Structure 1
Amino acid sequence: MTHDLVAALRPLLTAEARAEAHASGSDPGDLEQTVWLRLLERLAAHGPPRAPEDWLRRAVRAESRRIRRRARHERPYGTEPADLTAAGPEQLALAAARHRALRAAVARLPGRCPRLLQALFSPRDLTYREAAGELGISQGNLGPERSRCLGCLRRLLTPEVAAREVRGYEWERQVIR
């Protein structure tokens, strides 16, 4: 019985949903699915309607009115109400994974490279003179050694991390932190 009713009403519902969807600003498929759901609820609670075609037309129009009313009362935010600078959980998890991979790669660097990179890119924002004093090397050797260490770091990270668009000193400061 239900299968026959659905088969008989399908073309009428498709046509009615297409006709009403434009006026309500909704998708005809969404409107059609909602009316199918209403029909199933009706069948479970009260059995089949006496005049299924009339019931279907009334149901499509009622859903269309409900969608229009909802659209008048619900206004989308121009921006997200939450802090726009806050990242979502997925972005936070990905950033944490990138930082773990970076810290592990820095720890695998040879010689004094791990200490040098940590000193240069620490939150204390050391000057070259302060970093050289902390590491016990001359200030003139700091730049060339930094370049060698960053080259090693890039080679280590190439298989693990996709290439960044931004290169240079700003990228290094952003990644090492």
Structure 2
Amino acid sequence: MHGQPPADASASLWDRAAEAHARWRAGDRLALDDLVRTLTPALWHTARSYGLSEDAAKDVLQNAWVRLVRDPGQVRDSQAVAGWLLTTTRRLAWASTRAREVPVEEVAPTAPDSSPTPEEAAIAGFEASRLWGAVNSLNARCQRLLRIVAFAERPDYAALSADTGMPVGSIGPTRRRCLDKLRLLLEGELA
């Protein structure tokens, strides 16, 4: 069962996380790997949305996972595991930012290294810097929303609502407005 997608290939990120968590709680030790693979991208961008450096964000994620593994009983309902980990990540990231300020250059996430040519690396770096610079110029609400939904195949609006405090009905329109602002910022750079 390890490495197998859920029976419903269109399952949301939250459903896949719940399924992996349930298998892990039932004794499938390898299911924890599936849970980590499923949720780490969303947790990573949640931590980075607080302006943490890559190293600080790695520490936050490691601490969030350690808290879950050390006391698996604190999340009894597998459907709640994604929300619990997002909340834990946010709290740890917030605590990490209280004592330090991060230069803007450290805030923009970088693409994973896949051994590009120097030219490809330069172009990708420029594009990532341009995109994340534009994202960082948006208000905090847009930044948080776009960082979370950008990495979820089919975001669960109920869980997203609980995580962000936004009503379910305003998530889609707010996302659209944020994306429109982002597009205008990026188009303005080209003009």
TM interval, short-chain normalised: 0.3 to 0.5
Structure number, greater radius of gyration = 1
- State TM-score, norm by structure 2: 0.36
- State TM-score, norm by structure 1: 0.39
